[in-house]
A and B are shown apart, each in its own frame.
Chain A
């Protein structure tokens, strides 16, 4: 399932065309147009100002931090930053929308066209073009199950800033869409403009899906609203594309409509047709002035951008010689890459490769097994660095290091302390080893004869015997050297 993904039905192959509208909550302490907190509140309507509740005579005042976050994100997706943008009202009645309109940017968004390159499983990459990014308000929440006949309204979320990121219909497979969202989420986390938390709804997507026969023009699309997991995005595309194909084959027509993905039933359901869609009567919000940015302002933000995932991956590969796959694994999680960088910096030789191996190998295995995140790891970056130094300085062998690592995990102890207390230091004294080698050879005289008459595979046996005597603490290379000399 990569760049060529065709839906096959009785009438042949269909191409699936996907575009996304991602809604990402802007990381900000206060709402887009009011001073109310955006922190999760324990009780309903606890973070609501008179502006949020649309009391008469209340006016919105733009939170400049949210504009900065949008610009930052725009730069992250390689997009045009519009120095002139405006806020418009999208008018519709809904009980959890107190003003009767959502303030959004319809005519002049703050960010224009851009793109994001998405890595695919087969090693290729797909450029997804982005049409625009605009700021808008979130609505509140209607709660229908607290009272048999009444609906309760919670306005805590009402007015929280969202970035809506709209792609062009550039994706052709579920993998494309899923990887796009993964990549975007990662980017937003790097930028610090969204926490990427899909479970809590701070990142969600509307998925536009249509199908066509190869070479034909775009078909009618259905919009699947508010899909809030990457897995569901993939599933929704498969299910919806299939539904459309069957419908078309049966002589039906795909109608432009809004649908809902029901993950439990594995189906999409119609929410409302285009005819029922409200006329939003967009017009510029007269309570707000146009947003006018300067090149200077944008450049300042550009210059303060953190290192982004693609650049970091390249740096890991160039600086530490990491394979692309390993670098991707590290970069895909900001906490993991931070752990990696901290540990690597603490090693004497900046041994990124070894740190990466232990991190993505032994440590990941134990974290997974115990259901812990990297931030909860009992093995600190300093301890891992110390372990790598012990290996590199040949104080312990890689073999012993594996055991020491398990001890480090179990007791959160420094590897040096473990090595010392258990006497695990590698025997590097060649005199001691020579004595042991002589002892082994003397006790196995027949085998020595056999070896000398051509049974060279016995060499490993002698090495094993010596290693056994040292309790595994010998440097295998040194044993090899001594035995070869003695068996000449």
Chain B
């Protein structure tokens, strides 16, 4: 008997629509799975009761033939999205007790489309990290293990609770945010599809800001098709976010034909770095070969400013963060640690409330904006940022999409790199450029490493090319034939039929 947990959403949806199964059964199965995998620390807040109630409402609509497009989708939400009446901590002690009286636009869009929220997932504190180890709730654990090694691995970050949850089957899709790779890297390390849309496609309203000019919400799913379905119902213009774009959102699923014949796929030479894991390099070449076999043309390109992207990112992101995080002052909400004066109260609250990595980035950001440094760091970084964008603009004159690895290595052990910020920052090396340029990019699981861990390939497209980018990703997915053994092993608690 197949377990319903094994189905991706497009398969599950047809069974829901044909009334073969009920939304309640789906949600119960996922809740059971979430309880079974609590040791992964994927969820920081569970909303199972309201999920069951929503499932019943979904069933009523299904019964009446009024089903919504994402009806019954068991969804996990990164704890950076404000959810009305549900605690939203951003994995920070400074917001340990914060219950927003409002809902983010993206989660609101998804709920209105019928998705059911199972709970809030773990992340690096304020989304600052690539491992989910800096969370005030403790690290999340990757459900994947190295062959013959029981050691816990990181699920990537910052959307690590989301990736761990989808990989473990305790949610079918999860929301992440991606400031420098925080959707794509955890997706890659957990064998999932993760997409960062074009900056401005999804509203940032109600998403706790890390770096406003880089933050963008996106889905983590098992398949490209599910990513297309979820993205379509997240995206859209929002007058409450001045940086959200007013343009029609197509039916992305309808573009998934898998036809890439005649497409030009660029291979940037700068991403072939010294020290690139040979397995990853081999998979990259293999992926290019697949595209070639499908009739696409592989073109060598150059993105000359690639080496500057990481340092530029680590100036701009902390600069914006240092200002965005000034509001956590103990005055109106969240943690407050008393002091003899207002300054002392600020100091006590922020010292106690922020973890080490967040503090480090606030300090870096404050420094690069300070008078005397602004021109040398922030302003220069903005100039180089434009160069990075120009690289892509030039490249997209020649090619339709760019193919790169998503990460430079596979998932590492929990605890590693925690005391070495630079090693941690290098996790973002292949992903930050697209955030700086505001471009859409998607990570697709393409193979396994020698130690049996998943590896992801990244496709980057021009602004607002989501529909065709998803199609290219779908082609890659089809060629790679990646099968997560985790999904194969999912137990049959809730057999279908």
Q: Residues of A with Cβ closer than 8 Å to B?
A: 50, 53-62, 89, 91, 93, 95, 98-101, 151, 153, 279, 281-283, 286-289
Contact = CB atoms under 8 A, between A and B. Distances in A.
A50 B82 CA distance: 13
Contacts of A153: 331
Max chain B CB contacts within 10 Å: which of A98, A100, A101, A282? A100
Contacts of A95: 329, 331, 342
B100 A289 contact: no
A76 to B, nearest CB: 28
Nearest to B319: A283
A56 B326 contact: no
A206 to B, nearest CB: 20
A281 B102 contact: no
Nearest to A92: B326
Interface in B19-51: none
Contacts, number: 97
A71 B104 CA distance: 34
B205 A289 contact: no
Given A95-B342, A283-B323, A55 B374 contact: no
B371 A281 contact: yes
Interface string B330-362: 011100000000110010000000000000000
Contacts of A100: 323, 325-327, 329
B122 interface: no
B439 to A, nearest CB: 17
Interface stretch (B59-67, B137-145, B240-248): B240-248
B88 A53 contact: no
Contacts of A55: 82, 100, 102, 332-333
B327 A54 contact: yes
Nearest to B371: A279
A86 B357 CA distance: 31
Interface in B351-403: 366, 369-371, 374, 378
B82 A57 contact: yes
Max chain B CB contacts within 10 Å: which of A151, A153, A281? A281
Interface in B189-232: 204-209, 211-213
The 9 closest A-B pairs by CB, nearest first: A100-B326, A281-B369, A286-B212, A286-B213, A54-B327, A57-B206, A56-B208, A57-B82, A57-B208
A95 B327 CA distance: 10
B95 interface: yes
B90 interface: yes
A153 B333 CA distance: 13
12 contacts: A50-B102, A56-B95, A56-B100, A56-B208, A57-B204, A59-B204, A91-B326, A281-B369, A282-B374, A283-B374, A287-B242, A288-B243
Contacts of B450: none
A113 to B, nearest CB: 24
Given A93-B346, A281-B374, A59 B327 contact: no
B371 A91 contact: no
Contact of B332 (A54, A62, A283, A287): A54
A91 B369 contact: yes
Contacts of B366: 281
B346 A283 contact: no
B243 A101 contact: no
Interface in B88-110: 88, 90, 95, 98, 100-102, 104
A59 B332 contact: no
Contacts of B204: 57, 59
Contacts of A54: 327, 332
A55 B343 CA distance: 21
A170 to B, nearest CB: 27
B205 A57 contact: yes
A288 B242 contact: yes
Contacts of B370: 279, 281
Given A53-B332, A57-B206, A101-B323, A283 B378 contact: yes
B239 interface: yes
B326 A93 contact: yes
Nearest to B90: A56
A4 to B, nearest CB: 39
Nearest to A281: B369
A52 B449 CA distance: 50
Nearest to B342: A95
A61 B239 contact: yes
Max chain A CB contacts within 10 Å: which of B101, B209, B319? B209
A83 B349 CA distance: 43
B320 interface: yes
A157 to B, nearest CB: 16
Given A279-B371, A281-B374, A289-B242, A57 B329 contact: no
Contacts of A289: 242-243
Contacts of B346: 93
A286 B90 CA distance: 21
Given A56-B95, A61-B239, A287 B212 contact: yes
A55 B98 CA distance: 10
Nearest to A287: B212
A245 B374 CA distance: 37
Max chain B CB contacts within 10 Å: which of A57, A98, A100, A279? A57
A89 B326 CA distance: 12
Contact of A57 (B104, B239, B319): B104
Nearest to B369: A281
Given A93-B326, A283-B374, A286-B320, A57 B342 contact: no
A203 to B, nearest CB: 29
B316 to A, nearest CB: 9
